[in-house]
Amino acid sequence: MREETRPNAATPVAVGDSMEHGLIAASNRGPVSWRRADDGELVPERGAGGLVTALGGALQDEPGTWVSVAMSEEDREVAVRHDGEPFEVKANGSRFRLRLLDVGDRFEDYYNTASNRLLWFTLHELWAAPYEPSGIGWPAAYRDAYAPVNDRVARAVIDAARESDGEPEIYLQDYHLCLAGGLVRKALPDAPLLHYLHTPWVGPRYLRRLPDRMVHDILDGLLSADVVGFSSPLWSESFRRCARDLAGATIDGEAVLWDGRRTAVRHFTLGIDETALEAVAGDEATRRAGEEHDRELDGRRLLVRVDRTDLSKNILRGLQAYRLLLERHPDHQERVWHYVHLNPSRQGVPQYREYLGACRAEAERIRERFGAHTLSLFVGDDYPRAVAALQRFDVLFANPSVDGMNLVAKEGSVLNERNGVLVLSRHAGAASLLAEGALLVNPYDVESQAEALHRALTMDDEERASRAQVLQQQARLGTPHEWFAAQRDALRQAVEARDRGT
């Protein structure tokens, strides 16, 4: 183990030292998590996931402070050790300056109930309307966990801003922290503040399934920012309508005017991190995984899906579409191998556990009916294995019922070496950018998805090549650095306009 990965590499930072800077990011999940090594030491590891990839790169160039919430026992131990004070840590070659917050027993209700159930389910339109949501237990989770954690994060952001020697610039991330902006704004009326939502956003009617109080507070919090950012113009548009219809704001072009403030509501293109992808693609573990895939594939066509086990990823309907494909076009039974690669996610939420169970059962039914050779289901964390599959697919299937963006569609487009076809949900944020290259599908219509899979699997080489070319170009637009730079520009413009009083 390298010395710098030891926790003693996590050193408190004196105010005013060279790392002190006004760039401040805050998110629920931070860029580093800790695991306990066999010798009992806590070892920092750089986290994966879109948010960390996107923001992590940007904060390497120009180090800033990253405020986040401790998510595991190990993280909590580190957080308690530093007691909310900033410290530096190196993990897998990256260096971060963190303020890691231990929110104690509140974490469960803040993360699993309020964030991942109430807000995630609402923003992804996941409620089964005749039964849910009931609203029972919500006010407590919101009032006693979500709001206090937001308050804690906001206070850490305010401290970081006050202690910075540069002009503070604040970048809040995602649905876990919708209230933090309001608190920051009260303490720092002039600080440049941007809130980025990596999720979709819904229209006013759907948002109103949340208790009125929550809707009011969330809009109040987000509209405290100078800029609210999304990954697709569709989500910005929905947000503006919510601000108008539910908060009484006025829409002025891309901006929203409310309570004497002007908030620019913009979308920013986030592409792939090609350098990081290339590193994994060239890795020995990826090569070995690829050889295993090739053996199993044995000259057949490869249909791939790679997803977190999230309800919004629509994995079950995807499997049903594959079953229908094999029923309706029996030739594929011997000619296609479906590799389904799932990363377990949020297994603390009962609905997520049940959903994974339902997906496993459907996969098993397909294997029983058409033969085990037709489908393999992998459930686990093995990024090289996922990357190896993305390098070789003939068809990549990404059919989320709705998705803020869908990074896999973009990563697959760039990694693939076979002019593979992308079958993509029209409700993924990435769909507007990839529409020309992909076959777009209605995620709720299983029959049409089966037909799209058939079309993709039988597409001629010329069409595959020309579509793949478009996909590669489009997926490369907006590197994480460009994505972040565009936000900084938007924030500067918004603040300048505010200072001019326009």
Does 317 interact with ligand G6P (rule: CB under 6 A)? no
d(CA 489, CA 471): 27
Least distance CB 344 / ligand G6P (angstroms): 10
d(CA 476, CA 35): 33
- 296 sits in which H/E element: helix 284-297
Does 68 interact with ligand G6P (rule: CB under 6 A)? no
Does 271 interact with ligand G6P (rule: CB under 6 A)? no
**CB-CB neighbours of 487 under 10 Å:** 21
Cβ(453)–Cβ(430) under 8 Å? no
Least distance CB 309 / ligand G6P (angstroms): 11
Does 293 interact with ligand G6P (rule: CB under 6 A)? no
Does 49 interact with ligand G6P (rule: CB under 6 A)? yes
Instruction: Between 51 and 118, name the residue whose CB sits nearer to ligand G6P.
Output: 51
User: Which of 10, 32, 51, 225 forms a contact with ligand G6P (CB under 6 A)?
Assistant: 51
User: Which of 64, 182, 404, 480 forms a contact with ligand G6P (CB under 6 A)?
Assistant: 404
Does 383 interact with ligand G6P (rule: CB under 6 A)? no
Does 318 interact with ligand G6P (rule: CB under 6 A)? no
Does 47 interact with ligand G6P (rule: CB under 6 A)? no
d(CA 85, CA 15): 10
User: Which of 199, 224, 232, 236 forms a contact with ligand G6P (CB under 6 A)?
Assistant: 199
- 46 sits in which H/E element: strand 42-46
Does 33 interact with ligand G6P (rule: CB under 6 A)? no
For the CA atoms of the chain, what is the radius of gyration?
Answer: 23
Does 342 interact with ligand G6P (rule: CB under 6 A)? no
Choose the binding region for ligand G6P from 46-54, 156-164, 236-244, 448-456 (rule: CB under 6 A).
Answer: 46-54
Does 29 interact with ligand G6P (rule: CB under 6 A)? yes
**CB-CB neighbours of 329 under 10 Å:** 17
- 12 sits in which H/E element: strand 11-12
- 424 sits in which H/E element: strand 421-425
Dihedral pair phi/psi, residue 403, rounded to 5° = -150, 135
Instruction: Between 107 and 142, name the residue whose CB sits nearer to ligand G6P.
Output: 107
Choose the binding region for ligand G6P from 47-55, 100-108, 149-157, 325-333 (rule: CB under 6 A).
Answer: 47-55
Any residues with CB less than 8 A from the CB of 128 and at least 6 apart, and which? none
Least distance CB 50 / ligand G6P (angstroms): 5
Site string for ligand G6P, 346-365 (x = CB under 6 A): x-------------------
Instruction: Between 209 and 346, name the residue whose CB sits nearer to ligand G6P.
Output: 346
Alpha helices by DSSP H, listed for 65-146, are 73-82, 106-108, 120-123, 138-141
Does 345 interact with ligand G6P (rule: CB under 6 A)? yes
Using CB under 6 A as the binding rule, the residues of this chain from 146 to 185 that contact ligand G6P are 174
Does 428 interact with ligand G6P (rule: CB under 6 A)? no
Query: What is the maximum alpha-carbon separation in the chain?
Result: 69
Choose the binding region for ligand G6P from 48-56, 128-136, 364-372, 425-433 (rule: CB under 6 A).
Answer: 48-56
User: Which of 22, 31, 44, 50 forms a contact with ligand G6P (CB under 6 A)?
Assistant: 50
Does 427 interact with ligand G6P (rule: CB under 6 A)? no
Does 75 interact with ligand G6P (rule: CB under 6 A)? no
Does 204 interact with ligand G6P (rule: CB under 6 A)? no
Cβ(87)–Cβ(98) under 8 Å? yes
Instruction: Between 344 and 371, name the residue whose CB sits nearer to ligand G6P.
Output: 344
Any residues with CB less than 8 A from the CB of 229 and at least 6 apart, and which? 194, 195, 196, 197, 266, 267, 268, 487, 490
Least distance CB 407 / ligand G6P (angstroms): 8
* Residue appearing with tokens 């920013």: 268
* Residue appearing with tokens 């160039």: 61
Q: How many residues bind ligand G6P (CB under 6 A)?
A: 10
Question: Which bin fits 419, alpha (ψ -120 to 50), beta or left (φ > 0)?
Answer: left
Instruction: Between 222 and 495, name the residue whose CB sits nearer to ligand G6P.
Output: 222
Cβ(232)–Cβ(202) under 8 Å? no
* Alpha-carbon distances of 232 from 79, 239, 267, 432, 501, rounded to whole Å: 35, 11, 5, 8, 28
Does 198 interact with ligand G6P (rule: CB under 6 A)? yes
Does 413 interact with ligand G6P (rule: CB under 6 A)? no
d(CA 329, CA 455): 11
Q: Which residue is at the shortest CB distance from ligand G6P?
A: 198
Does 108 interact with ligand G6P (rule: CB under 6 A)? no
The residue ranges that bind ligand G6P (CB under 6 A) are 29, 49-51, 174, 198-199, 345-346, 404
